[in-house]
Amino acid sequence: MAEPGLRHWRPRAVPGARPRPGPVRDWLDEPGSLTRRLRAQAGGAFRVQVLREYWGRPWPDERRRLGVRAPAWLWIREVRLGTGDQPWIHARSVIPRHSLEGPLRRLRTLGRQPLGALLFGRYPVARGPIEVAPLDASSRLGARARAPGAEPCWARRSVFSIAGRPLLVTEVFLQPLIEELHP
Ligand SMILES: C=C(O[C@@H]1C=C(C(=O)O)C=C[C@H]1O)C(=O)O
């Protein structure tokens, strides 16, 4: 299966690397909390479904993006965000052990609380550049993010840093969200 290597995170200059101007591109470029936008779009139907949370080995491109050497065991959280009956976003967050101290110490017990509430909360947060890529459905990330009736379409990722503690957040935009934004 194809690795979601750096080739999937094309620089924006490559044609097709970004959707045409419009709501999807606007959401992919959102520098603030995606949760805030999802809540506004879904209203009271907003849901967070935790798929898996575990100590795991990140993928090589994730390790490179975080600058951690192999072998490394990091905390990995995968969730689906959307409404009660439609997944809109598959999110995968990869957190080094030392980032689970201080402001993010509650991260491992977050449960169905959205990570954004922690990241865009009391503490100053720095966000690195947002990489955007059309997602190859046969990639490991694409296969991981696919849900019944919800094909993976676009992916974005960025490194957050709170009090100097980094974490990598990858968000896959699923077909139902694309349809929601382009009615
Ligand atoms: C980083 C944010 O948190 C969102 C919620 C996540 C979670 O609950 O695991 C993961 C990524 C985001 O889609 C955000 O709101 O921008």
Record the tokens describing residue 126, joined without a space. 């720095």
**Residues 6+ away with beta carbon under 8 Å from 110:** 77, 118
What is the atom index within ligand 1 of the atom nearest the CA of 32?
A: 16
With a cut of 70, say whether residue 62 has pLDDT above it.
yes
Phi, psi torsion values for 117, nearest 5 degrees? -65, -30
Cα 100 from Cα 15, distance rounded (Å): 38
Chain centroid to Cα 54, Å, comes to 16
**Cβ of 95 less than 6 Å from ligand 1:** no
Give the domains, in start order, of the chain with CATH numbers: 10-164+175-181 (3.40.1410.10)
pLDDT, one tens digit per residue, over 83-136 is 988 999 999 999 999 999 988 999 999 999 999 999 998 888 999 999 998 987
What is the 161 CA–ligand 1 centroid distance (Å)?
A: 14
105 phi and psi angles, rounded to 5 deg: -65, -25
State CA 14 to chain mean position distance.
22
Averaged pLDDT for residues 148-170: 94
Question: Across residues 1-25, what is the average pLDDT?
Answer: 67
Residue 51's CB: how many other CB atoms inside 10 A? 15
CA 164/CA 135 separation, integer angstroms: 30
